[in-house]
Structures are given as C-alpha cells and as structure tokens.
C-alpha cells in the first residue's frame, strides 16, 4: 500500500501523489495486490488523489479510503471509479478498501460493508479510533493494563478493542468481504504482535496491517496455513471420502450438512 494520507505532510501531498503514480507505473510489483491510501473525503486532496491515480495507473488494484464512516462515502468513491473506468476502457477493475477508524464508522459497520459491490475489504484503524474514543493509551495495539479483572496470581488482561474488532469482522463475513486487523505499533515487540494477530485470527480476520518490514514475517506466520491444521483437514477429508452420512474418529464425528461437513464432539 502506497500512502498519501497520514504518512505525508500537507505541503507534500501533490508531490506524494506524483511519486505514487511513478512507483505504480515504474516498478514491477509482480502479483502483489497494489493499493493506494488516499486522503479522506472532506480534505482538499481526496478527489484529485482518486481521479489522478486511478486514471494514470492501470496497475492499481484498490483504493483505501480512510475515515470511512458511512455508506455514502463508499458510493462516492465507486462513482468516481465508474467514470474513470468508462473513460479508460477495458482494464483492471479497481476495488475499494474501507478503513474504519472512527466511532461512527464502527457503529455503521454493517451498512458500510454492504454499501457497494466494489468494496472488497474493511480494515480496522485502531490509531485514530483510540484518539476519537479519548482513551489514555499511548501505543497502538498494546493491551491497556487498566482494562483488567482481578485474578490470582496476576490480573486478567481484557481486550478493550474486542467490541470493535468483533463487530467489523461479523459485518464483513455477513457481507462476503474480507476483514483486516489494525497495525501493532511497537515493531520491536514480536511476541505482542503475534499475540495480537492470533486474537484477530481467532475472531475471523484474514490478515493484519504491518507498520514495519520486520512485522511481515510474523504476521504471515500467524495467518498463513498451519501445517498441523492442513494435515488434520486432509485426514478428515480422507475419512469423509465416499461417505454420505456421519463419520467418527476418536471422540469426534462429522456429519454432512447443507454447506459441507460440520464437526461434533
């Protein structure tokens, strides 16, 4: 993802846009999904970001829209892309990723997720969400020790972002789009990053944003196929081969249902 928003000072916005266009057109990105995070709707740069980058870059796969708070914003971007693609002619269809990072956006997660067929994914933007929720946290992604329950020998830390994470994940799965988790800002904390990634994976997320190159490998390790689970799945499929009813293995059995096989204990 090439960034035109938070990573760029206001007096460098136009130069950054041209640099992104040059990078998209001048570098061999191979099969990577290439995105550009534009400036948010309501800023002086949003319209030009979308129009100039999308019109000039046939390699662009996706526009990332920050501060996505309501369905209109997704439809606005989609309408711009419709016009650009109609003028351009046949080519790659540009998708939209909604960066949900406000209380209003989390509250509208379900209607944002179904706003337009171009929407491919929703990303939880924790940094701005923390700021708008006015929490005392200082590091994006790090658990807050104040949000804990008394327990022995140590207090039990809870995840104060569970509600937002779960709501976004559920909205995405209901709409058939992909949920992606927020960044973990402390790039030196490998254990904390992996723990954060495992929590979001357990909620149904498909991936997590990285803020530093050192985070890519740990995130891929968490969200990539686990060899033990792949072996388990192959063993189950082998047991089910040719069966039309239920199959037992140890203390578990599987039954055929309308949408595939369901495990029972």
3-state secondary structure labels for all residues of 135-185: CCCCCCCCCCCCCEECCCCCCEECCCCHHHHHHHHHHHHHHCCEEEECCCC
Residue 171's pLDDT is what? Answer: 98
- Average pLDDT over the chain, rounded to an integer: 91
143-147 CB contacts, 8 Å cutoff, 24+ apart: none
* Residue linked to tokens 């946290």: 137
Question: What confidence score (pLDDT) does residue 29 get?
Answer: 96
pLDDT value of position 265: 42
Beta strands in 177-236 (DSSP E): 178-181, 207-208
How many helices and strands (H and E) does the chain possess?
10, 12
Of residues 128, 110, 146, 112, the one with CA closest to residue 182: 128
Amino acid 13: pLDDT: 97
Ranges of residues in the chain with a pLDDT under 50 are 258-259, 261, 264-265
Q: What is the pLDDT of residue 21?
A: 98
Residue with tokens 């439809």: 75
Q: Read off the DSSP letter of residue 94.
A: P
Whether the model clears a pTM of 0.85, i.e. scores above it, the answer is yes
> What does the pLDDT read at residue 260?
53
DSSP helix, strand, coil percent of the chain (3-state; round to 5): 45, 15, 40
For residue 7, is it left (φ>0), alpha (ψ between -120 and 50) or beta? alpha
Q: What is the pLDDT of residue 244?
A: 63
Contact in structure between 129 and 173 (CB atoms under 8 Å): no
- What are the angstrom distances between the C-alpha of 258 and each of 240, 255, 262? 15, 10, 10
């Amino acid at each position: 993802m090439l960034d035109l928003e938070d990573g760029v000072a206001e007096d460098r916005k136009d130069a950054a846009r041209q640099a992104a266009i040059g990078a998209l057109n001048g570098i061999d990105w191979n099969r990577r999904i290439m995105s550009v995070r534009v400036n948010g709707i309501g800023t002086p740069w949003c319209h030009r970001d979308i129009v100039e980058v999308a019109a000039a870059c046939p390699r662009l796969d996706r526009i990332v829209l920050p501060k996505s708070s309501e369905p209109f914003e997704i439809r606005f971007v989609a309408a711009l892309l419709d016009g650009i693609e109609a003028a351009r002619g046949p080519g790659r269809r540009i998708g939209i990723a909604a960066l949900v990072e406000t209380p209003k956006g989390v509250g509208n997660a379900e209607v944002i997720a179904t706003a337009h067929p171009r929407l491919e994914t929703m990303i939880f933007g924790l940094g701005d969400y923390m700021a708008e929720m006015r929490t005392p946290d200082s590091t994006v992604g790090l658990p807050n020790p104040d949000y804990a329950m008394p327990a022995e020998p140590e207090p039990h830390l809870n995840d104060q972002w569970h509600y937002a994470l779960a709501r976004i994940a559920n909205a995405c799965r209901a709409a058939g789009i992909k949920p992606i988790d927020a960044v973990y800002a402390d790039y030196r904390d490998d254990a904390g990053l992996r723990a954060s990634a495992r929590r979001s994976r357990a909620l149904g997320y498909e991936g997590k944003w990285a803020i530093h190159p050192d985070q890519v490998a740990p995130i891929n390790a968490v969200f990539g196929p686990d060899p033990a689970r792949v072996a388990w799945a192959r063993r189950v499929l082998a047991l089910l081969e040719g069966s039309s009813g239920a199959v037992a293995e140890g203390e578990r059995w599987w039954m055929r249902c309308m949408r595939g096989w369901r495990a029972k204990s």
